[in-house]
Structure 1
Amino acid sequence: MNARANTPKWSRRRFLQRGGGLVLASSALGSGLVPESIHRLPHAWAATPVTLDLTDVQPGNVFAGDEPMRLREVLRDPSGRPSTYEVELVGRDADGIIVSRHTQTLRVASAEPVKYVAPVGADAYGAYTADATLRASDGTTVATTTTALARVPQSPDRLQPDSPWGIGGGGSFIGIRFDETTIATRLQLVAEAGIAFSREEIFWDTIEPSEGEWHWERFDPAVIAARNKKVLFLALLDYWASWSLPDGYQGQSHPTPWAEAIDNFANYCFQVVSRYKPGGTLARVLGWDDDYGIRHWEVWNEPPTFWFGTAEEFGRLVRAASAAIRRADPDAFVVVSNGGESFDQQVVDVAGIGSYDAMAIHLYPGPAGPEEGKFVEQIHQARTFLDRNDGRQVRLWVTETGWNVHGGVSPWEQAAYIVRANVEAVAAGVERVLDFTLQYGGEGWGILDDALHPRVAYAAYAALTDRLRDHRPSVGVPMGSAVRAYVFGAEQGATAVVWSTAENGSLNLHAGAHQIQPHDVMGNRLDTGRGPVEVPLTGRPVFLVAPGLSPERLARIVKAGSVHGLTPLDIGIDNLADLPVNLPDLTVTITNRVNVDQHGTATLTLPDGWSVAEPELPYGPLAPGASTVLRYRLQQAPTNPDNTYPVRISATTPAAPGVVTAQTTLFVTAVVRGTPPIDGTLDGFRTAAPVHVQRPDQVVGIPNWTPAGCSATAWAMWDEDNFYFAVSVTDDVFHQPYTGGDIWNGDSVQLMFDPDNVKQGMPPGAQEYGLALTSQGEQVHRFSGGSSDVPGARLVCRRGENSGIVYTFALPMTELGIEPGVGTRIGMDFLVNDNDGSGRSGWIYWTPGIGNAWDSSLFSTWTFVGERL
């Protein structure tokens, strides 16, 4: 998936161009702090500040099993003056609860550092922080520092070739950027988490910087260290060598014809595979007799972002690379990254489906969770594509997915989402998931922080790999739309993973004589007392371990459990596309959110002057997770200039609380005839029908959201030549430092069309545009393939009060490929991105059809009308 639709992720090249610096595992967070309250200390001390560091006793501050957690306190007083200090070390769990407190007196007699290994007393698995405070003898605080650490289950200390769990970029170009010590440390941290695979790039330009000049010393240490740490590689073969760029690539002239450049790439693949395969050149030179080597190879990375040729040319490269890999190693496993359905179809037509052993997909739903981000649905779409092309034998791999703690999710959300996504992916038939990433370039994607210390996600991922080690997905349990439950089987029994995608509640299990042991997301046994097993249902998954039970039996017990605390119904009320041309049905979708059948009646309360033939309709019975659409036949529906229509619906249900009520404000999604001036003002759009985007349920990722922080009103108009669109955005901080294809990272608008109103996935005619006021002026960027330029498009923006902005936009009808007229219907969606100066925090959408996923079935239908409402 193109990361454009999600939180920003540096490209590998961009990161390297920025000179991403070396981060050593031994670096200490908080080193060299200037003392607090220094003005209250003796004058001599002010010139020679005292510092306190917390340094690692174990690599990365990761402790396995019952290993005692410890940190090394390092006190430096450059003055050399004999002094006495007190260090207080406070340990907190990932929820901020204090779990230990240790105080130690340290005496300084010279300028040499004083070191002391202090305990952090916490027995439970999980992620922790340790805060150290250094005080002088008079109680004055001299310095503070903090670090992160974790206790995780004991890793298996063996290769795990059948494990589904991996990490993408486990070392961030591990064989290219780091020395041997750092490579070993990073791979140890991969292994400590029980992670079987690490995805690592072997840049062609690095290995063969000029034709025939091979620099194996750049990657040999990584392969050797991976063998020592019992980690397997998915090796990524990608990007052109500078000496073999094909002529015309990126629109530039190069001396190498395409056919020759592809042959050179294939030779690079052949040479690399020959060296690093089991029994390859490296193994023979080093005398390995254990069949260790790289067997899994991925051709190119993320074509939507990093391929600048045609799909046909990419297909030729895939065909040649796959043949070269298999010629070097007949047992090699070839993975090819996808590039979108249309692109992939052309690639398969050229390369043949037999070129693939697996298709790699990249899924970045963030900052939304995997369920709201349509994670599983996109997996099913990829599977359907392969099956349609006679690729039933081709596996699916997710080689990148993740959430950014600097991009709208908290550390706890990152942890929970990663576990949920991995479980859902494997349950949906994905053979292997490689999360992005261990630690990457100062960004918030890693499960380790910049000092190579564990985030909450590291401990949660370690628990996942431990709890489901040697398990295989077996049964998905229908628990309703608000609860997820998946059962995995192993020789010793079964394990279920359950969580809530909505509010918190509980699941009571009646296991009888069977033993079911709940464990939290960190792998700790939960005390449920006697009687029924009460399982907390929150966004943090719980593992239900059932020794000796079959997956089918455990699934029946979970399915029969009693769900408490969750609203049993979800009620959605659709907007009214056909007013005022026609009098449409008002449609209401009711979904069963829990694991017992639901039925009842649903009653409408309408705006003044509106009426329906039958305001009360029955629904159900609805099975868990099932939905039904109720259609209320409108008899009267007068419109008003503000285009706002409050509607409420109350549905009875046999489950508590007995009645579920939903209310919303509807809008008529009309495109009104007219030719407004494109001048940054709304004057010409006043005759159109405004739609307002200002509800909490339309917000994704924006922390502490209020309508004053980010909201919008939009208008749509048409004439024979152009589609016109205006958006008035309320924004407390305007920040748009990006240009071109990166404008989605800053304050901007994304607008997407389904011209034929297909309402199914992403149809071939779909078009997506970005609108932004940049440092280089107004910019319109086409995201949906082909040229990024949009001939004939016009955008004029005007800044208003309180950092607000008005976008006025004209798009030629030739872009949409439709013949406009009264009654024409198109699918359309838009969102407003929000960046307050520290990265895109999220967005607010009209409908959830873009941003989390491209899905035209979620677009509104907009009807072309000829008169004012």
Structure 2
Amino acid sequence: VSAQLEYELRSAEGNLLDQGASPEKLLPGSYVSLPLRISRRLDEPGYYIVKCRLRTDNNMVAEKTAAFLIAPWVEKPDPFFSMCHFGLPSAFLVPSRAIGMGSTTLAVYQSHCEPQPGQYEFSGLDKRIEQAHALGMEVYGHFPVYGNQYSMDTTWYNQQKKPLLDSGFPEAFFIPFRNYVRAVIQHVGNRVTSWSIVNEIDLSWHSGKYAEEYYLTGTRIVSEEVRRFNPKLPVLGLCVSGVDSMKLFPYAKKLYPQLKDVIDGIGPDAHVTPCTYGPGYRPVSEEKGFFRETLLEGRKLIGPDGILSIEEKGYVCVSSLPMDDPALMRLAAVMQRGVVMAKGHGCLRWVPHYAVADQPGLSDYGMWRLGNPRPMIGSYAAAARLLTHAAEPLEVLPMNGIYCYLFERGEQTVAVLWTSEEKPLQTTLQLPEDARVYNLFGSRCPFNGSISEFPLFIETSMAKTRLAERIAKAKYSLPALAGELLLRQSDQVQLAVLNKAGTDLTARLSGEKIQTREVRLEAGKISRIDLPLSTPLESGETLRVDATADGQTYSFSADIFWTVLKRVAGVKADAILTGFEAVEPILLHSASNLLPGDAAANALWTGVDDLSLKVYLGYDEEFFHLAVEVRDDRRCFRQTGNNLWNQDALQFGFDAAGDAVSGKLASTGYDADNDWEYAFAMNKAGKPELYCYTSPQRFAELRGSRNE
């Protein structure tokens, strides 16, 4: 059969760089691999897309989108830029080093290192260290300490732990553990640069009554043995999950006083969630996911001399996405912004969660997929080259939503500038005459007076402080005010207004139902102004308030709708919803009720039989009542405790003060001031369970599983 193999070579931005075709002969019943020869030579660093098509008589036989990366060799890589052991075959250490990675993990798994009690096998550790050192990469140790049934502990050790998890671990139990730890530390020696005691303990403590105690004791043992061998080797602990870090470390703060004398810093697994990229998903950015606040709070917790490190951080992709999909490009930008923030706040390193993901499935964390580097590899490599050994970071925030981090790299200043706004912004910023500008993937590009969510790297000989001043004083086409109206009661609303300007502003508020007044708006903050109304609002009405500041008028409006609760009597917790007979339910049964909005279009929801709800609300003298009738064609109950949400479950919350704002003003989520958040479901044991995730701080003891 005669066929034609065609290709197009494009830049990451979609520009056509080369194309060609070659005739091929396909023998009957044959399986062939056809080499593709690209005629154009590429020298410019960047990320490139190749689209291949095989045709016969104008019929499409096969189509493939592949990608490759051009990354200049970094002679002395920066260990800040790391590659995790998760999903990292030894063969991928070489490409990791080639794109500028300066360090990698040494995972100490008991299942590999102590197959039988007191019998040690460290050849795997030696091989990993030798491979990394041969490439010029530093190695740091990850030592798991789990009291529960951890998959990478040996079967015999898990069997020993299991009965003690709820009764307590006697002191003698830890003697063999200490011997094992000592053997590992002494064997590895100074071939590692630090040790991290890993366990997302804020999640795993729910696995048993003494899981937390095991972690605290195990952390002390590892730290003591490291310091016994070499007191100068740093030890990190409290590698809490993104659940804790996004809430600014409530659990880490609880444990830190008990560990601060034995650890040199903390290494959170600072995932920002939701973090799945692809059709039908709505991930949150680093900025809206509190990552900068996480870094600031982490530094505050450990002090100026403590070590802060991002020991795991990942992003999920829909596995089938082609390499040039816009969702993957946006992911690459979000990841790079997080990397720059972490380096800008003095972190020891950045450790991606997963390297190579070739396994079948709907989604994965992989940076490589089926032999192809995803765009996030390109953006990570660009940061690793342009910020290698960059030091003395300086943060500049000209307006809320505009970010810049400046560094010193040798005799050069390197600035990284972007906005978290979805649309590009224009700026009056004048760059130095010798400035060289690079895009997301490290390719040279012109500066056209605009910035976007895709960071720009600016290299110049201008002093860091002078360039910082220029960036801070430039004008940006970002509205100074953003706001929302919140209904407090029928005759009162609250205006929540965010001042995005770099300075305080005075605003004049006016509207049909409010008295004109002037208010002071603090720079970079959300101000909340209660506004009494001249006449009560009615459901279906639209309210508008204008705010005039610095010669500009901004209008904020809200469509007023509310649900009237009925008094109920004789409510029973039964299958026929006794007591709710007169209540008209709220129906959640159409595509308009879905989040994200394109879930139905992308077949994540197929109709009312797939998932639909009737929600009944009511009250009596003692209680607020909630009843839900759920229709679901497939039921999945596999979790308990803190992970109850990660299955079929009903999640509900109470914003008691009515002060919640949307993601346009602030990161969404429940606060510990006046909010309550719950999940209710059948757990993996087949029993109903209610879990409280959030409560006002004064009721913190009510968080956790409830069964009363």
TM-score by length of 2: 0.79
SS at match of 1:354: coil
Residue in 2 that maps onto 1:265: 177
* CA separation of 1:487 and 1:334: change in aligned 2, threshold 3 A: same
Q: Which residue of 1 aligns with 2:347?
A: 430
Match of 1:559 among 448, 466, 472: 472
Amino acid corresponding to residue 469 of structure 2 in structure 1: R
Deviation sequence 1:464-517 (CA, Å, 0-9, x none) = 111212212532223222322222222322222222222323343453764333
**1:209-243 CA-partner distances (Å, limit 9, x unpaired):** 11122222333322221112222233211144433
User: Structure 1 counterpart of 2:679, which letter?
Assistant: G
Q: C-alpha separation between the residues in 1 aligned to 2:461 and 2:476?
A: 25
The unaligned stretches of length 5 or more in structure 2 are 147-152, 276-282, 661-668, 694-700
Query: Does structure 2 conserve the Cα–Cα contact (< 8 Å) formed by 1:688 and 1:717?
Result: no
User: Aligned pair in 2 of structure 1 residues 602, 771: CA closer, same or farther (>3 Å)?
Assistant: same
Alpha carbons of structure 1 residues 450 and 441: separation in structure 2 relative to 1, 3 Å: same
- Tell me, yes or no, if structure 1 residue 724 matches structure 2 residue 625: yes
Q: Is the 8 A contact 2:398 2:473 kept in 1?
A: no
Unaligned 5+ runs, structure 1: 1-82, 175-181, 279-292, 529-533, 606-610, 793-869
Question: Which position in structure 2 is the counterpart of 1:297?
Answer: 195
Pairing partner for 1:364 from 271, 287, 306: 271
Q: Distance in 2 between matches of 1:639 and 1:328?
A: 73
1:650 aligns with 2:508: no
Q: Is residue 563–residue 594 contact of structure 1 (8 Å, CA) maintained in 2?
A: no
Letter of the 1:652 counterpart = T
From 513, 517, 533, give the equivalent of 1:634: 533
Q: Specify the alignment match of 1:538 in structure 2.
A: 452
Q: Which residue of 2 aligns with 1:158?
A: 76
| Cα offset, 1:414, TM superposition | 1.3
CA separation of 1:358 and 1:371: change in aligned 2, threshold 3 A:
same
Partner-residue secondary structure (3-state), 1:481: coil
How far apart, CA to CA, are the structure 2 residues paired with 1:248 and 1:554?
Answer: 57
Per-residue deviation, residues 45-81 of structure 1 (Å, max 9, x unmatched): xxxxxxxxxxxxxxxxxxxxxxxxxxxxxxxxxxxxx
How far off its partner does 1:168 sit?
3.3
Alignment match, 1:119: 38
**Counterpart-to-counterpart distance in 2, 1:665 and 1:148:** 48
- In structure 2, the CA distance between the partners of 1:383 and 1:667, relative to structure 1 (3 Å rule), is farther
Question: Any residues of structure 2 matched to 1:465-484 within 5 Å, and which?
Answer: 465-484=384-403
Alpha-carbon distance, 1:268 to partner: 2.4
2:236–2:264 Cα contact (<8 Å) kept: yes
Q: CA deviation at 1:378?
A: 2.7
Question: Does structure 2 retain, via aligned residues, the 8 Å contact 1:226–1:232?
Answer: yes
Counterpart residue type for residue 663 of structure 1: S
2-structure distance, mates of 1:700, 1:595: 33
Q: Aligned residue for 1:375?
A: 291
In structure 2, the residue matched to 1:520 is 439
Match of 1:739 in 2: 638
For residues 650 and 728 of structure 1, do their structure 2 counterparts lie closer, same or farther at Cα, with a shift above 3 Å needed? farther
Q: 8 Å contact 2:427–2:475 — kept in the other structure?
A: yes
Do the aligned partners of 1:128 and 1:150 also contact (CA within 8 Å) in 2? yes
Q: Distance in 2 between matches of 1:85 and 1:146?
A: 16
Distance 1:715 1:480 in 2: 44
> Of 417, 421, 426, which residue of structure 2 is paired with 1:502?
421
Alignment of 1:216 with 2:122, yes or no, is: yes
Give TM-score, length-normalised by structure 1: 0.65
Could you tell me whether the CA contact under 8 Å between 2:568 and 2:579 is conserved in 1?
no
Q: Find the counterpart in structure 2 of residue 194 from structure 1.
A: 100
Match of 1:102 in 2: 20
Amino acid at match of 1:423: V
Match of residue 680 from structure 2: 771
Helix, strand or coil: the match of 1:562?
coil
Say if 1:637 and 1:472 are closer, same or farther in 2 by CA, change over 3 A.
farther
Q: What is the distance in 2 between the residues matched to 1:599 and 1:253? A: 59
Which residue of 2 is the match for residue 550 of structure 1? Answer: 463
Partner of 1:129: 49
Please give the residue correspondences for 1:212-291 in structure 2 after superposition, counting only pairs within 5 Å: 212-238=118-144, 239=146, 240-245=153-158, 249=162, 257-278=169-190
Q: Equivalents in 2 of 1:776, 1:704: separation in Å?
A: 32
Name the residue aligned to 1:601.
508
How far residue 312 of structure 1 moved from its aligned partner, in angstroms, is 3.0
Partner of 2:280: none
- Equivalent of 2:8, from 90, 96, 116? 90
**1:782 aligned counterpart, secondary structure:** strand
| Residues 639 and 647 in structure 2, CA contact (< 8 A), matched pair in contact too | no
| RMSD of aligned alpha carbons | 4.3
Please give the secondary structure, in 1, of the residue aligned with 2:422: coil
Given that 1:153 and 1:463 are in contact with CA atoms closer than 8 Å, whether structure 2 keeps it comes out as: yes
Taking the aligned partners of 2:76 and 2:406, their CA distance within structure 1 comes to 25
Contact 2:204/2:211 (CA < 8 Å) preserved in 1? no
1:589 aligns with 2:496: yes
Contact 2:220/2:262 (<8 A) preserved = yes
Distance 1:637 1:115, change over 3 A: closer
Structure 1's 215 and 147: CA in aligned 2 closer, same or farther, altered over 3 A? farther
Tell me the amino acid that sits aligned with residue 770 of structure 1.
A
Change (3 A) 1:95 1:511: closer
Is the CA contact 1:129–1:146 (under 8 Å) kept in the aligned structure 2? no
Give a deviation string over 1:93-115, Cα, whole Å, max 9, x none: 44555432121234579979675
Q: Kindly, what percent of the aligned residue pairs are identical?
A: 16
Of 67, 70, 85, the residue aligned with 1:149 is: 67
